[in-house]
Amino acid sequence: MIEGQLVLADGSTFEGDLIGAHVPIATGEVVFNTCLSGYQEVITDPSYAGQIITFTYPHIGNYGINATDFESVGTFCRGVIVRDLARRHSNYRAQADLGSMLYQQGVPGIAGIDTRRLTRLIRDTGAIPGAFGSAPHEQLLAAAQAEPGTDGIDLVRTVTTPVGYSVPAADPESRRRIVAVDFGMKRNIALSLANYGHVDVVSAATTAADIMAMAPDGVFLSNGPGDPAMSPYAVESIQGLLGNVPIFGICLGHQLLGRAIGADTVKLPFGHHGANHPVKNLDTDKIEITSQNHNFAVDADSLPGNAEMTHVNLNDGVCEGLKVASEQAFSVQHHPEANPGPHDSNYLFGQFADMMDHASADGKAAR
């Protein structure tokens, strides 16, 4: 292996061995993820665009990778940091090893890092720009300090689908038609929606008029990376859809819906990245264990009078869901479709289907 260094913008330095695609310098905003499994799904999640992923679990790659578990057409993260990359993988579903996947996908990585120390640093100071590679320390430090991070950048345009496509309904008899706006949509979201109807996926810049021209029964707003304030075109489109069609949003889609109704969004110190966040459903008082991946959140105190918070993160009180009953719109910050899990919040897709059915019935009655 080639020796390398990870250098953060504050000068903190970590030594390790380079893995994956070999580049002299890789830069990005360094965040940590607390998942115990699902590393392939995490690495291929478009929501990590612009970021370097630190895995807090010490042993990564032990069960290999396979073609089925890709969450997108490729990878969008800037790099991967691990404590120990498995030398051998063992699983009946494995088709290759993680190191080979990183190399083939062009994702640089660094192993042998003290990820406990790094995680504590990020937790205490917040997500921080960093750089790693084989370049000299002074060059890595300069690159880290020049890295802008994810604030004030429209990352959605780098991950959205360039052309629309369709996912047929799992039930051929289903008559529901769903338009999904791709802000960086994970594969398993499309498959989850297809359990309830035919899905037409459109790019993030699609206008409300073009979406409504497709005569959808409902519109889904997907997850995605970066700062929601940098996608005003998406907010404008959502404002044109509100009140005209049922809307369901997840993650970035939740934040964009919040901005569309007049709420503010804020950047969290180090975000939520993991598969074990407790969320309370305020309608049922039930606790759901959820998968999360976001750096920004809706400011609950800024919600307008016609909206209400429906879910709250029990770790830090962050708004995890909202609804605008008068406009037939709701959203959550967490991922009910999480692959490999948990699936405590999967019922939300059924809730969306019920909303579409009621809206369709009301429309027929009006006619």
Active site residue 251: yes
Q: Is pLDDT of 367 > 60?
A: no
Q: Is pLDDT of 366 > 80?
A: no
Strand partners, 180: 201, 220
Name the residue type at position 41: E
Active site residue 337: yes
Q: What is the overall mean pLDDT for the chain?
A: 95
Please, are residues 183 and 256 in contact by the beta-carbon 8 Å criterion? yes
Check 29, 320, 327, 337 and give the catalytic one.
Answer: 337
ω into residue 340 within 30 of 0, thus cis?
A: yes
Check 198, 251, 311, 319 and give the catalytic one.
Answer: 251
Task: Report all structural domains of the chain as residue ranges with CATH numbers, in order of start.
Answer: 2-146 (3.50.30.20), 156-366 (3.40.50.880)
Please, are residues 151 and 227 in contact by the beta-carbon 8 Å criterion? yes
Instruction: Read off the pLDDT of residues 145-177 as tens digits, 9 standing for 90 and up.
Output: 999 989 889 999 999 999 999 999 999 999 999
CA separation for the pair 182, 299 (Å, rounded) = 23
Instruction: Read off the pLDDT of residues 197-226 as tens digits, 9 standing for 90 and up.
Output: 999 999 999 999 999 999 999 999 999 999
CA separation for the pair 310, 263 (Å, rounded) = 15
Strand partners, 166: 200
CA separation for the pair 28, 150 (Å, rounded) = 8
- The predicted model scores a pTM of 0.95
Check 254, 273, 334, 335 and give the catalytic one.
Answer: 335
Q: Band of the pLDDT at 46, cuts 50, 70, 90? A: very high
Q: Band of the pLDDT at 53, cuts 50, 70, 90? A: very high
